[in-house]
Structure 1
Amino acid sequence: MSVLTAIKLYINKMIDNCGKGMKVFLLGKDTLPLVSITYAQSDLLKKEVYLFERIDNSARESMKHMRCIVFLRPTPENIQHLCAELKNPRYGNYHIFFSNIIAKPDILKLANADEHECVKEIQEFYADYIPLLDHVYNLNIKKISSAVSTSWDRSCLKRSADSLISVLLALRKYPVMRFSAKSELARNLVNSTYDIMKEHSHLFEFRRSDTPLLLVLDRRDDPITPLLNQWTYQAMVHELLGIENNRVDLSEVPGISKDMREVIMSPEQDSFFKDSLYSDFGEIGIKIKDLVDKFQKQQHSTAAIESITDMKKFVDNYPQFKKFSGTVSKHVAIVGELSRIVQDYNLLEVSETEQQMTTQASHSEVQQKISSLLRNPKVREMEIIRLVLLYCICYEGQSGHNPRQFIEAMRNRGISEAKCKLATSIMNYGGKAVRGGQLFGEETKIAMTKKYFKGLQGVENIYTQHKPYMIDILQQLQLGRLKETDFPWHGGSPQRIGEIIVFVVGGITYEEIKSVHEWNISNPGNKVVLGSTCVHNCRSFLEAVSSH
């Protein structure tokens, strides 16, 4: 059940169907990042794909000697562009693949536009999502509703439902569904997805070996996880630097060279990154040292060129050596910048206090620590906002809960009024009155004490002891204890659940991605594919919260 493998198989089939010869990929704004994330350009060159073009680029040259692979979402805009293309074809022939279900009237439009009879085939290949890892995909939709509404933006709802249909068809799954009861967003998405499945029921007539579950959650049910600092490699890079379609912008890093201002961080194209995704910060330092040592040995060995045979061997290995050199430089630069940020902004002490709040440690002790950190000039604005918002959520309703003192301290630090209002916005977004489920379980003093000590026992790293609420939901589901009042069924309730497709409305985090990876290793019978509208770091999450 790999969303990444499904995309690769589709792309391979597109290329194979096109036959031998020079090829151009004609893509849309949605399918271009999909292809670039899935395949390195060098790998596609080996398959005779020499050119990548956007369908909306009207300045493209005519190249009749090239075969054209068209890969688009079946949107009205793309259909219009493609009709114009077929009326005035720039390439020898066209193999057209849509990433989702295409309406019959649109096929008729294309047939009428194909006056030169250059279309060889039209197929639906269900790849309407951006794969990040084998078990993770997203849609790159940061905002799903308007600033004055908690309801779906209609185009975002359609996009999300279409994507879920695509994932189900790509994985050949016909699921039953559950959703977060308090979330209008989750309910509407499940209804829309079910309606499409019912309308196109013939597409789901494949052999069903098990009963998968589609579980639709809402980011509001766990507003804590996106607020925390992260301490595993992939999560840290996204949190402190930002990852967008596997690209990391290093242009603001002090002293960075020109060729390192933007780097690719792809597990498919970088074996070191793939092996280090979930390593904690301490482990990464050791791994980087080992990588540098290995490079130095290789560099020394390639310097010993004493014969024609040595020279030929060096030239043959040069592309791999150059790639290795680039890998070392990239990761040394990134880890160096992460280390600088951690040290300069006192992130270790901040993170320790964050983790204490997630276990609802002593209220008075946490208040003192937050007050001290808010006065510390090394603690930057972002961390101050995190601490105050976490306090608002974690201690809501407890005796002595008083965020006003911290909001006033924010103002004294010169933080803008708009950012001070985030303390109110976070409660409107994910406070007790809004969120579904039980983020902190039964909030009695005894239960909180048990939870605190449970968090301390056997924890190797105090900075990563927090576990996302999503994992608690999966555990309750596996044990048959997930309350129907909190997560009702839609479309049946089987006795035994097999594989699970989780979709989170409003964004996931790399901490949750890591936790699901660990879940899949421990629970091979209930493997999870995780999808969402986007992947948040704290900055993008706060942008979403600020509209509430």
Structure 2
Amino acid sequence: MNVILAIKQYISKMIEEAGPGMKVLLMDKETTSIVSMVYAQSEILQKEVYLFERIDSSGREAMKHLKCICFLRPIRENVELLAQELRMPKYGLYYIYFSSVISKQEVKVLAEADDQEVVREVQEFYGDYVAVNPHLFTLNIIGCGPGLGWKTDLLTRTVQGLTSVLLSLKKCPMIRYQNSSEMARRLAENVRQMINKEAALFEFRKTDVAPVLLVLDRRADAVTPLLNQWTYQAMVHELLGIHNNRINLSNVPGISKDLQEVVLSAEHDEFYANNLYMNFGEIGTNIKELMDEFQKKSKGQAKVESIADMKAFVENYPQFRKMSGTVAKHVTVVGELSRLVAKLSLLEVSETEQELVCQGDHSACLQKIRSLIGNEKVQHTDVLRLVMLYALRYESHSNNDVSGLVEALRKRGVSDKHRSMVHAVLEYGGKKTRGTDLFRDGDPVAITKRFLKGLKGVENVYTQHQPLLNTVLDQLLKGKLKESAYPYLGTSQLRDRPQDIVVFMIGGTTYEESFAVHHINRSNPGVRVVLGGTTVHNFKSFLEEISQPVHGQTPSHMTTRTVHW
């Protein structure tokens, strides 16, 4: 189960079906992101795709010598634009692929527009999601619904994305959902309706143990997106922000022009792939090794004295240049992370966060938060996240002083809008809403574990926290996940330990949870878990989330469907 591979195979198949010759790839805004996440432009150029266009851009030139591969989401706007295109075709032939199921009515609209008979192929290729890591996908949606209900258009989009994941991975799953969430129940039911409606598409070879789709709600764990992160990918997203593998570094002091925006892709960057889940200390050491290796190679390149030396230099130059780019990029990124950690006192902030959620002596935590609110080095957003964590952690505590901390934020100059987030997070993921004992204060086993952990001393005080997802998946794999809390949809139930699990988080997932899934996959041979969410959060995007409610022959491994004209 590899979502990057699934999307790559679809795109390769589209290009192959168009045959030899020069080609243009015509996409919409979302499919552009879907393609760019798994393929570098240089790779697609090697497949004779020389032009990349958006269907909604005006003034495209007519180039009848090019074949056109259209990869589009089957939404009304795209169907109308494509119908206009077919009435006055700019390219010689059209091969049309929709990223999820398209209605017969919309196919009829396109067939009637194809007067000049330029269309050679119309198929559904189920790539209606953005693949981030092999086991992680997103739909890039922030703010699923007002209150505790879905916005209709976003429910439809989520159903399309999730069924597309299942079809691309060839899974017809049993469905379980978080019982405390009405949104999880509705999404689960809508996915099942789609599976029943398109039963022929979901007729995959039966496996001994049925796959499982587990639908969860972010509200059950509002703590995880509030925490600072210390593994490479998660830390970059938290401090710099990753959008479709791109990082904006234009605000970095003294940044050179060519490094103002960089791409971090594990598919095309070996150092990044090897260090995604390393903690910050290890990354520093690995960057030093990368630098040393580069310097050795560059010294070796310096001696160009003979024809043989020149030949060797020219042969190695592309590799040498690529390594030079990799070194420059990661030294810049890690250098900026280090600068921010020191400048914003993030070690102290993070230690307090972890104490709050993992050990939690109330008076000591309260004192530390007050002290950090008074520390001018700590930025507004970090004192805000501490107060939000405190509000969730001590919601029912008899000496709870949320109002005092909010007043301290006001005196410090934190805006009304940001101070309102403390109340918003309680509305979003407080005890009344989440339906789980997130801190497991009444669980004697959890208290004993916490006590023993405190006695032994924690290996890394900045990464003690385990997301709720970890516990849920552990129980699911052991067959101990309570049916009352996570019921099955329908009558059939799983009697064996599941092997293939797709987890979907309404309201967004995080890189900390992605790391937890990576660890579960590595620690449990034969178990394959894929994690998805409406988005992948950092603290900034999570504030947005919670402010919304308060305010040829197809290979056997690929699911497609030909649409008849």
Task: Report deviation, 1:448.
Answer: 3.3
Change beyond 3 A, Cα 1:75–1:229: same
1:216 aligns with 2:215: yes
Task: Report deviation, 1:444.
Answer: 5.9
**Aligned counterpart, 1:161:** 159
Higher mean C-alpha deviation, range 523-532 or range 240-249: 523-532
1:179 to 177, 180, 184: 177
**Aligned counterpart, 1:255:** 254
Unaligned runs of 5+ in 1: none
Counterpart of 2:463 in 1: which secondary structure? Answer: coil
Higher mean C-alpha deviation, range 392-401 or range 15-24: 392-401
User: Counterpart amino acid of 2:432?
Assistant: A
**Aligned counterpart, 2:415:** 416
Counterpart of 2:376 in 1: which secondary structure? Answer: coil
Change beyond 3 A, Cα 1:456–1:75: farther
**Aligned counterpart, 1:463:** 462
Counterpart of 1:25 in 2: which secondary structure? Answer: strand
Contact 1:503 1:530 in 2 (8 A): yes
Contact 1:180 1:216 in 2 (8 A): yes
Task: Report deviation, 1:312.
Answer: 2.3
**Aligned counterpart, 1:199:** 197
Alpha-carbon separation, structure 2, partners of 1:181 and 1:352 = 33
**Aligned counterpart, 1:133:** 133
User: Counterpart amino acid of 1:174?
Assistant: C
Aligned residues: 546
Contact 2:6 2:169 in 1 (8 A): yes
Task: Report deviation, 1:459.
Answer: 3.4
Contact 2:177 2:486 in 1 (8 A): yes
Alpha-carbon separation, structure 1, partners of 2:176 and 2:359 = 29
Counterpart of 1:65 in 2: which secondary structure? Answer: strand
Task: Report deviation, 1:454.
Answer: 3.4
Alpha-carbon separation, structure 2, partners of 1:69 and 1:446 = 57
Counterpart of 2:359 in 1: which secondary structure? Answer: coil
Contact 2:230 2:462 in 1 (8 A): yes
TM, length-normalised to structure 2: 0.94
Task: Report deviation, 1:453.
Answer: 3.1
Alpha-carbon separation, structure 2, partners of 1:175 and 1:199 = 15
Contact 1:186 1:218 in 2 (8 A): yes
Contact 2:249 2:259 in 1 (8 A): yes
Contact 1:161 1:189 in 2 (8 A): yes
Counterpart of 2:213 in 1: which secondary structure? Answer: strand
Q: RMSD over aligned Cα, in angstroms?
A: 1.4
Post-superposition Cα deviations, 1:461-509, rounded to whole Å, max 9, x if no partner, equal 1101111100100111122222222111103212122211000000111
**Aligned counterpart, 1:407:** 406
Contact 1:361 1:452 in 2 (8 A): no
Contact 1:66 1:91 in 2 (8 A): yes
Unaligned runs of 5+ in 2: 551-565
User: Counterpart amino acid of 1:282?
Assistant: G
Change beyond 3 A, Cα 1:65–1:268: same
Matches within 5 A, 1:278-427: 278-427=277-426
Change beyond 3 A, Cα 1:68–1:225: same
Contact 2:470 2:516 in 1 (8 A): yes
**Aligned counterpart, 1:15:** 15
Task: Report deviation, 1:63.
Answer: 0.7
Higher mean C-alpha deviation, range 357-366 or range 85-94: 357-366
**Aligned counterpart, 1:485:** 484
Counterpart of 2:293 in 1: which secondary structure? Answer: helix
Contact 1:422 1:546 in 2 (8 A): yes
Post-superposition Cα deviations, 1:35-73, rounded to whole Å, max 9, x if no partner, equal 111101111111111110001112111111111111111
User: Counterpart amino acid of 1:103?
Assistant: S
**Aligned counterpart, 2:546:** 545
1:144 aligns with 2:144: yes
Alpha-carbon separation, structure 1, partners of 2:409 and 2:254 = 32
Contact 1:180 1:436 in 2 (8 A): no
Task: Report deviation, 1:446.
Answer: 8.0
Contact 1:359 1:455 in 2 (8 A): no
Alpha-carbon separation, structure 2, partners of 1:246 and 1:447 = 37
Alpha-carbon separation, structure 2, partners of 1:325 and 1:446 = 51
Alpha-carbon separation, structure 1, partners of 2:480 and 2:377 = 45
**Aligned counterpart, 1:80:** 80
Task: Report deviation, 1:536.
Answer: 0.3
Counterpart of 1:177 in 2: which secondary structure? Answer: strand
Higher mean C-alpha deviation, range 195-204 or range 523-532: 523-532
Alpha-carbon separation, structure 1, partners of 2:225 and 2:398 = 26
Alpha-carbon separation, structure 1, partners of 2:529 and 2:457 = 26
**Aligned counterpart, 2:117:** 117
Post-superposition Cα deviations, 1:300-359, rounded to whole Å, max 9, x if no partner, equal 111111122222221222222111111111111111110011001111011011111111
Change beyond 3 A, Cα 1:171–1:417: same
Alpha-carbon separation, structure 2, partners of 1:279 and 1:360 = 24
Change beyond 3 A, Cα 1:475–1:458: farther
Alpha-carbon separation, structure 2, partners of 1:42 and 1:286 = 31
Change beyond 3 A, Cα 1:246–1:456: farther
Alpha-carbon separation, structure 2, partners of 1:27 and 1:417 = 41
Counterpart of 1:69 in 2: which secondary structure? Answer: strand
Contact 2:178 2:217 in 1 (8 A): yes
Alpha-carbon separation, structure 2, partners of 1:542 and 1:169 = 33
User: Counterpart amino acid of 1:531?
Assistant: G
Task: Report deviation, 1:452.
Answer: 4.3
Higher mean C-alpha deviation, range 282-291 or range 320-329: 320-329
TM, length-normalised to structure 1: 0.97
Alpha-carbon separation, structure 2, partners of 1:270 and 1:307 = 33
Alpha-carbon separation, structure 2, partners of 1:447 and 1:315 = 61
Post-superposition Cα deviations, 1:75-109, rounded to whole Å, max 9, x if no partner, equal 11111111111111111101111111111111111
**Aligned counterpart, 1:3:** 3
Counterpart of 1:38 in 2: which secondary structure? Answer: coil
Q: Report which structure shows greater RCO (CA 8 Å, sep ≥6).
A: 2
Alpha-carbon separation, structure 2, partners of 1:152 and 1:456 = 45
Counterpart of 2:284 in 1: which secondary structure? Answer: helix
Contact 1:73 1:99 in 2 (8 A): yes
**Aligned counterpart, 2:517:** 516
User: Counterpart amino acid of 1:408?
Assistant: E
User: Counterpart amino acid of 2:221?
Assistant: D
Alpha-carbon separation, structure 2, partners of 1:315 and 1:447 = 61
**Aligned counterpart, 2:233:** 234
Counterpart of 2:461 in 1: which secondary structure? Answer: coil
Counterpart of 1:493 in 2: which secondary structure? Answer: coil
1:498 aligns with 2:496: no
Alpha-carbon separation, structure 2, partners of 1:455 and 1:529 = 32
Contact 1:2 1:135 in 2 (8 A): yes
Alpha-carbon separation, structure 1, partners of 2:359 and 2:351 = 13
Alpha-carbon separation, structure 2, partners of 1:354 and 1:143 = 25
Alpha-carbon separation, structure 1, partners of 2:456 and 2:265 = 35
Matches within 5 A, 1:528-539: 528-539=529-540
**Aligned counterpart, 2:526:** 525
Change beyond 3 A, Cα 1:323–1:356: same
